[in-house]
Amino acid sequence: DGGITQSPKYLFRKEGQNVTLSCEQNLNHDAMYWYRQDPGQGLRLIYYSQIVNDFQKGDIAEGYSVSREKKESFPLTVTSAQKNPTAFYLCASTPRGTSAYNEQFFGPGTRLTVL
Amino acid sequence: KNQVEQSPQSLIILEGKNCTLQCNYTVSPFSNLRWYKQDTGRGPVSLTIMTFSENTKSNGRYTATLDADTKQSSLHITASQLSDSASYICVVSAGGSYIPTFGRGTSLIVHP
């Protein structure tokens, strides 16, 4: 099956710890995105990558870091510098080309809770 | 600044009834508008996409409309089912941009 996988589905973190959320896709998509979703709010862009070894900050990148060493993978690290990390995190991907028409395919999400 | 506003914030209806969700946007230059359905605890899934020249598009019991002049879109759900309970998100893309603008969504609950 083609698609996007995120792991783990639930993640608990103690304050002061870094955690890494996994995102893998086998759709051969070039662009990948990380969003954060809080109750009652729209999706907010954290980071995005249009090509391997390149990525750009989104609207709320502070306290987060990413890497894009492989086309299929775009892991997100939530660092201790992120003051309010408890949220639902969604990874998405799109094929390259006619950018604005591309449907964003989303993974199932990871719910991060800071204890 | 590009913005997408959705109304109502939440809606409760009885199974079998119809409902209409609204989306107003100020995205420029407009390229396309998508409606996504997001089940609780899951990722959003695209229902429809509409471009500037399209007024109406259907996907089963879901019908989306677009008025590019007034910058409004609606999503009409016919004969609602319990499985329609979800958040519906309006997403608007600007021409030449890889990054769409998301609305906050309308939470729909369908009661038996």
- Of the ranges A53-62, B15-24, B59-68, B94-103, which one carries the lowest mean pLDDT score? B94-103
B8 touches chain A (CB under 8 A): no
pLDDT tens for each residue of B68-79:
999 999 999 999
Copy the structure tokens of residue A100: 């604005």
Taking CA–CA distances from A39, the nearest residue in chain B reads: B104
Contact B96 A100 (CB under 8 A): yes
pLDDT at A102: 75
pLDDT at A2: 64
Contact B43 A99 (CB under 8 A): no
Angle at B57 between CA B52 and CA B61, to 5 degrees: 155
Q: How confident is the model at residue A103 (pLDDT cuts 50, 70, 90)?
A: confident
Angle at B62 between CA B56 and CA B66, to 5 degrees: 30
- Of the ranges A54-58, B27-31, B37-41, which one carries the lowest mean pLDDT score? B27-31
Contact B31 A106 (CB under 8 A): no
Q: How confident is the model at residue A1 (pLDDT cuts 50, 70, 90)?
A: low
Burial class (CB within 10 angstroms; exposed 0-12, middle 13-18, buried 19+) of B104: buried
The conformation of residue B84, written as its DSSP 8-state character, comes to: G
pLDDT tens for each residue of A79-88:
988 889 999 9
Q: How many Å apart are CA B80 and CA A87, to the nearest integer?
A: 30
Taking CA–CA distances from B89, the nearest residue in chain A reads: A42
Cβ-based contacts of B102 with chain A (< 8 Å): 42-43
B35 touches chain A (CB under 8 A): no
Q: How confident is the model at residue A20 (pLDDT cuts 50, 70, 90)?
A: very high
Cβ-based contacts of A45 with chain B (< 8 Å): 99
Please identify which residue in the block is written with the tokens 């998509």: A29
- Nearest one of A50, A34, A42 to A82, comparing CA atoms: A34
Please tell me the number of Cα atoms within 13 Å of B36 on its side-chain side. Answer: 23
Contact A103 B46 (CB under 8 A): yes
**CA distances (Å), origin A49, targets A105, B3, B104:** 14, 23, 24
pLDDT tens for each residue of A21-33:
999 999 999 999 9
- Nearest one of A107, A103, A9, A47 to B91, comparing CA atoms: A103
pLDDT at B66: 96
Contact B43 A107 (CB under 8 A): yes
Taking CA–CA distances from A43, the nearest residue in chain B reads: B102
Q: What is the CA radius of gyration of chain B?
A: 13
pLDDT at B23: 98
Q: How many Å apart are CA A36 and CA A41, to the nearest integer?
A: 9
Q: Is the pLDDT of residue A3 over 70?
A: yes
pLDDT tens for each residue of B71-111:
999 999 999 999 999 999 999 998 888 789 999 999 999 99
pLDDT at A15: 87
pLDDT at A97: 62
The secondary element (H helix, E strand) that includes residue B88 is strand B86-94
The number of helix segments (H) and strand segments (E) in chain A equals 0, 11
